[in-house]
Amino acid sequence: MNINELTAHEILRKIKAKETTAEEVHKACVARIEAVDKDVNAFVRLSDDAPDIKSHKGLPVPIGIKDNMCMRGVETTCASHILEGFKSPYDATVITKLKDSGAVLLGNCNMDEFAFGSSSESSYFGPVKNPWNLDCVPGGSSGGSTASVAANEAIWAIGSDTGGSIRQPASFCGVVGLKPTYGRVSRYGLIAFASSLDQIGPITKDVEDNALLLNILAGHDPMDSTSVNLPVPDYTKALERDVKGLTIGVPKEYFIDGMDPEVEAAVKETIEVLKKQGATFKEISLPHTEYAVATYYIVATAEASSNLARFDGVQYGLRVHPKETRKSKLIDMYEETRAVGFGDEAKRRIMLGTYALSSGYYDAYYLKGLKVRSLIKNDFDQAFKECDAIIGPTSPTTAFKAGEKTADPLSMYLSDIFTISANLAGIPGISLPCGFSKAGLPIGLQVMAKAFDEEMIFRIAYNYEQSQEWHKKRASL
């Protein structure tokens, strides 16, 4: 096995044993990117210079960074034309934490434009491909981050999750992706999509790496007013505990008509495995699940409309100068810059959100959406009185073919039906591999727990993972 195919914890052991060096690992990742990224398109830009890895201590492991996290002096575009040429004057808090840990930043990973999507097809830099089948999408919006890990271009990566944008692509690409509790990881320096939903999280090859990376990312940040000041445990300690005595809920709303039978079978087989390990299962109800997608696409688009209003050609990135024949050149510059700079999906969401916030519709749409969001959160609060965690599929299907849903936005939106609720409720959720379809595509299992109980998630996920071989499979391009 090539060094870039190993997990971070395996690499760290080899470095400690002097069986390899950080320089060799970095070179292996760069060589892999040069060999396969022309097909995968996981990266939009690489770090200009090879870092001085000899001076690195701690965790000198190459990591991919989603292209919506600010890095000082580095172009950061959210895979959008409108931010072309924008270089951040500061580092996001997670970038500072990674640098302090000794991590090696490989470059910016491709994504859906401004994180608007579930397939990573809306990028200005072209679509990302799924390493397991290049005819399929990797999921989105963190498709470049997950594909980079699945293709062994990066050892691990970070993404952002607003409605499933870490977990759904992790499911499609056969890797492990965690959306931490809202407020657990600082959002300072994350270019905002929907500020009450966005959360940065780790994407890795196995659960141990995920816990290791969350140890680096988590913690209070005074620069982020939504960051929660709570102690951060050592998440790797949670891996030492078994699942005996745990009660795990299975929502009846997460097994629906139209679900891929192979996905349903794989998740139900997972339940049997965990039962043998000592966990108890009970059927629960999350009755407002059916309203989650509609609620999300009111709340998220409204916040996106507000957040993206700042991109007008004045301070950031692209500026399109209006023709001399126009009368009001300032307004025309705004209009032409935004018309050229934003892609179709970004325009669609801006218009939806602006409509929901407009006079006469605010109460009917946005305010009602917030009320239903509270009902969805209450569903989880009630469920966690009965169980320690909730388990189900990450996505109703395996990865779909590229282009299959681009003409039908609603169909695309429904691919996040099982992940959106965790964002609306602010709770943590993880996706990890639990099988493969007959076509050889990964199937993802989702585990959710109450707020700030990522330890419970890691405990269940690790025990299941270690009893199987799914996480050891590697995509062969």
Token pair 């895979």 in the structure block, residue: 79
Among this protein's residues, is 165 annotated catalytic?
A: yes
Among this protein's residues, is 415 annotated catalytic?
A: no
* 428 in Cβ contact with 199 (< 8 Å): no
Show me where the domains of the chain are located. 3-242+424-472
Q: Are strands 389-393 and 247-251 parallel, antiparallel or unpaired?
A: parallel
Local confidence band at 45 (pLDDT 50, 70, 90 cut-offs): very high
Q: Is the pLDDT of residue 55 over 60?
A: no
Q: What is the pLDDT of residue 322?
A: 83
Local confidence band at 410 (pLDDT 50, 70, 90 cut-offs): confident
Q: Is the pLDDT of residue 232 over 90?
A: yes
Phi, psi of 342 (to 5 degrees): -95, 145
d(C-alpha 126, C-alpha 122), whole Å: 7
Q: Are strands 104-109 and 43-46 parallel, antiparallel or unpaired?
A: antiparallel
Q: What is the pLDDT of residue 406?
A: 80
Annotate 105-123 with b (16+ C-beta within 10 A) or e (fewer): bbbbbbbbbbbbbbbbbbb
d(C-alpha 88, C-alpha 72), whole Å: 5
Kindly report, residue by residue over 357-386, the tens digit of the pLDDT.
998 899 999 999 999 999 999 999 999 999
Residues above pLDDT 70, as percent of the chain: 97
Secondary structure (3-state) at 429? strand
Q: Is the pLDDT of residue 187 over 60?
A: yes
Q: Is the pLDDT of residue 53 over 80?
A: no
Least confident of 133-142, 411-420, 422-431: 411-420
- Nearest CA to 464 out of 306, 294, 226, 279 is that of 279
* pTM value > 0.85: yes
Residues 6+ apart with CB under 8 A from 348: 409
Among candidate residues 47, 165, 227, 415, the one labeled active-site is: 165
Among candidate residues 66, 129, 405, 450, the one labeled active-site is: 66
HSE toward the beta carbon, residue 213, CA cutoff 13 A: 33
- Nearest CA to 458 out of 227, 182, 173, 211 is that of 211
For domain 3-242+424-472, which CATH number applies: 3.40.710.10, 3.40.50.300, 3.90.1300.10, 3.40.920.10? Answer: 3.90.1300.10
Report the Cα–Cα distance between both ends of the chain, in Å, rounded.
Answer: 15
d(C-alpha 148, C-alpha 29), whole Å: 10
Among candidate residues 101, 141, 142, 171, the one labeled active-site is: 141
Kindly report, residue by residue over 429-438, the tens digit of the pLDDT.
999 999 999 9
Task: Specify the DSSP element, H or E, that contains 455.
Answer: helix 454-466
* Length reported for the chain: 477
Q: What is the pLDDT of residue 214?
A: 98
* 183 in Cβ contact with 228 (< 8 Å): yes
Token pair 């004045």 in the structure block, residue: 314
Token pair 């050609």 in the structure block, residue: 313
